[in-house]
Every structure is written in structure tokens, then in C-alpha cells.
Amino acid sequence: MTGVIRPGHAQVRVLDLDESVRFYTDVMGLVETGRDDQGRVYFKCWDERDHNSYIIREADEAGIDFFGFKVLDEATLDQLEKDLQAYGLETTRMPAGDLMETGERVRFVLPTGHTMELYATKTAIGNGLPMTNPGPWYEASEKGIAPVRLDHMLLYGPNVAENKKIFEEVLGFFLVERVLNEEGDGEAAIWLSCSHKVHDIAFAEYPEPGKLHHCSFLMDSWEQVLRAGDIMSMNEVNVDIGPTRHGITRGCTIYAWDPSGNRFETFMGGYQPYPDYETITWTFDNFAQGLDYPQRKLHETFLTVVT
């Protein structure tokens, strides 16, 4: 892979830092990797090798501050910065170290109102396994839900069509699936990939800018998703949807909320698309099947509850 290679991090606002640290450590099973003088707490999933992927900070309102994608190298970062500026987007260079163990980041605001950044370097701290003759897991992978990586985000905001142009024409993503609006003359939601994953990011049309629908964490198997549901119930986590299967992406899922009301997903499956694949289209009258294939139910919360 070249260019933009994967989702790298998301910074999310929480209402009570101590409660959230306990939740993300004990229930989600993320690994805390540091804290900074801004009061932010850094986490990674156990099988991620870079220092951090999920950052929380305490605030009066839940939601997402920004998200970042990792690019291949510094030369790629410089070129993409020029490409974004040539497209007409204003960019800001965030200094190395502003985000713990992370190099310079190129930050810009999308038409949907979300702050996105690109970066090339983040300190590699490994996944707890040796680089020679490693085992398949270790004790950290058994604590809590224990997802293997931050997989993707779904973000809500206006002007999704303009976002799509930026991701396709500048950042090199391709459109994997889409849901048409009720009139059939535009897109209500889009799923985009920069890799062979079924999606690396998704956007849905929404009147308010900059909203977080969910951050998604990858599980190894359907059994691990069901185990995540057990852990959610044992810890009285508020569940939104699932366990179920999407028609869109074919992924298996549970959606739930953290203590601050930020939705998260435990996700597995999906097919492996390539850039030459034809985009799959869902009509709005079949959106319910796309969301919850077994029940064919368009859950109201999915459309209306965001942070």
C-alpha cells in the first residue's frame, strides 16, 4: 500500500476522565500507554504496534475532537499536504510531540465539519509479543473485550458529497458501498477504503457538523463479538444494536455506548474489496436490511443519536 495506509488515531471527549479510564481499561481491555500535560490519556489495542490509537480527554460535552490517518512516509505527507492545498483546503502543521510519541501532523477541516489529520511517524512500541517466534496472543489479549485494532469511524455531518471528492480525488480512497437518499438523487451515506478492508471510514449526511456516530474496534471472530456482548452485559453497558450482521459491508457487530454516551462498535468480518470493484449501492427503502440484515430494522437511534 502507498499513500494513506490506515486509520491511525481518534481523540474523543469524555465527561468523567476517571470513570472513562476504568471503562476503556477494564471493560474494553485497551492498553493505557501514556498521559500528557494536557490531561489526555492514551490507549492502544493490544495487537497494535504504534504507541496510541485512541485518546480521551475530559470535557463538558462528549464527541470527537479529531481523527488521524497514517501515511506511508514523510515524503508522502509533504506531497499530500501540497495536494490538499492545491485542492483548496487550508492546512496546519501540528508540531512533532504535540500528540504523544507522534511526529508532525497535517491538519485540515472537512466539509462535514470534522477535523482530520495525516501523519507519517508514531513511535512503535510493539504488541507485547516478540518479533522472533511470537505466539498468537498474550495475557493482555484476554483482558476485557480486548479488540485487536481501531478499525474505522462513522462520522455524521453535512456535505458528504464534498467529503467524497476529497477522499477520492486527493487522498486516494475508493468508494466501496453507498446508501442513496430517499429521493434517489444523492448519497445518504458512503463507505470508503484506502486499503483492502471493506471500509476505513464512513460518512452519513446529517444537518449538524462534526458529529461522531461511532469508533469501531476490530474483533478476531464472531465468537469474540459475542463474548464482547457478554462482557457488556456483565458490566451493564448500554447496548444500542446487536449482536447482528450488517447487509452493508457484511460485517458482524454490536453497537454500544461508553459512560459518556460516545457510541463504539465491536466489529468483525466483511469482504475484501479492491479499487477495481464496482461500488455496491443500497436504495433507501432497503437501508434497514443494510443496517440490520436479520431483523431488517432501521433502528431510530442509529439515525439520530450522535455526539
Options 9, 114, 199, 213, the catalytic residue: 199
Active site residue 114: no
Q: Label residue 296 left, alpha or beta by phi (over 0 means left) and psi (-120 to 50 means alpha).
A: left
Active site residue 265: yes
Active site residue 299: no
Q: Which residues contact 143 (CB under 8 A, 6 or more apart)?
A: 26, 29
Q: Is the CB of residue 276 less than 8 Å from the CB of residue 288?
A: no
Three-state secondary-structure class, residue 237:
coil
Q: Which residues contact 184 (CB under 8 A, 6 or more apart)?
A: 283, 284
Active site residue 119: no
Number of H helices, E strands in the chain: 6, 17
Q: Show the beta-strand stretches assigned E in the chain.
A: 4-14, 31-35, 41-44, 54-58, 63-71, 92-94, 105-109, 115-119, 149-157, 174-180, 187-193, 201-205, 211-218, 239-245, 251-257, 263-269, 280-282
Cell numbers at residue 102, please? 507522534
Q: Across the strands, what pairs with 55?
A: 11, 42
Active site residue 213: no
Q: Is the CB of residue 198 less than 8 Å from the CB of residue 176?
A: yes
Active site residue 293: no
Options 42, 152, 156, 206, the catalytic residue: 152
> If we measure between CA atoms, which residue out of 29, 13, 123, 121 comes closest to residue 68?
121
Options 51, 114, 213, 214, the catalytic residue: 214
Options 42, 119, 206, 255, the catalytic residue: 255
- State how far Cα 181 lies from the chain centre: 23
Among all residues, which ones are annotated catalytic? 152, 199, 214, 246, 255, 265
